[in-house]
Every structure is written in C-alpha cells, then in structure tokens.
Amino acid sequence: MNELTGAVIGSAIEVHRVLGPGFLEVVYEEALAAELELRRIPVIRQKVVAVNYKGRRVGEGKLDLLVANSLIVELKAVVNLTPIHEAQVLSYLKMTGYPLALLINFNVPLLKDGIRRIILS
C-alpha cells in the first residue's frame, strides 16, 4: 500500500507541477486519472458506492478516484481543507471497507501541504 500511495502522490505532484493551482476539481481529477493511466496504474473515476442504513440502501456516494481497486483518492480545489472534508473521506472508508484514502487539495502553492492520508481505524 505504501508503494501505491507513493505512486499516487508522485502522480499528483506531477499534475500540480504542470497545471499549478487555480483550476476546478474536475480538471485535476481528469489530469490525475490520465497521469495514473500513463503510469499503468489502474484507476476508476466517479465510482458509485452504496450507502446503507441498518441493512437498507438509502443512497449512494461517488468516489472521485478508486486506484488499483484498493485506495480511495478524494480531490479538492479549495482555499483550506476543513474537518468536513476529512469526515467525507472517513464516511467513504466506512462505506467501502477500504482501509486507506488520500485527500488531496490542489489549490495550494506546494502540493505536499495539501495532502492528507486518512486511515480507517
């Protein structure tokens, strides 16, 4: 998993290096998916996942990216990441049972300041 997260972070850094901050989230999603595909890393965009409540399906969520069928990547292009962004990612981890996600905010001067690793504990 560390190798995969490293590859995703490296890909995101490349996207940020080329595009910089200032675009809408969907642009970064498309660019990161393209970069991952160039690196031969399997990725699914806008993966629909069921939201269940006491055994009943009550809705659905969409993961920005599901990488290698094991890592959720949630993208943002906001001034600051807030606790609600982390709560959203934790909810996705609970819904899917995946253990790890990356929350990446592209609207920062230095991308390493916009990356958070979120673990389902």
Q: Which of 19, 20, 40, 91 is nearest to 62 (CA)?
A: 91
Pairing of strands 71-76, 100-105: parallel
The predicted-structure confidence for 34-85, as pLDDT tens digits, reads as follows 999 999 999 999 999 999 999 999 999 999 999 999 999 999 999 999 999 9
> Cα–Cα distance between 119 and 26 in angstroms, integer?
24
Number of domains in the chain: 1
Structure confidence at residue 121 (pLDDT) = 83
The predicted-structure confidence for 89-118, as pLDDT tens digits, reads as follows 999 999 999 999 999 999 999 999 999 999
What is the rounded average pLDDT of the residues 11-20? 98
> Cα–Cα distance between 114 and 78 in angstroms, integer?
10
pLDDT at 13 over 90: yes
List the alpha helices (DSSP H) in the chain. Answer: 2-19, 25-38, 83-96
Domain CATH number, residue 32:
3.40.1350
Per-residue b/e over 67-87, b at no fewer than 16 CB within 10 Å?
A: beeebbbbbbbeeebeeebee
Q: How confident is the model at residue 1 (pLDDT cuts 50, 70, 90)?
A: confident
Task: Give the tokens for residue 9.
Answer: 């972070």
CB distance 61 to 51 below 8 Å: yes
Domain range holding 38?
2-119
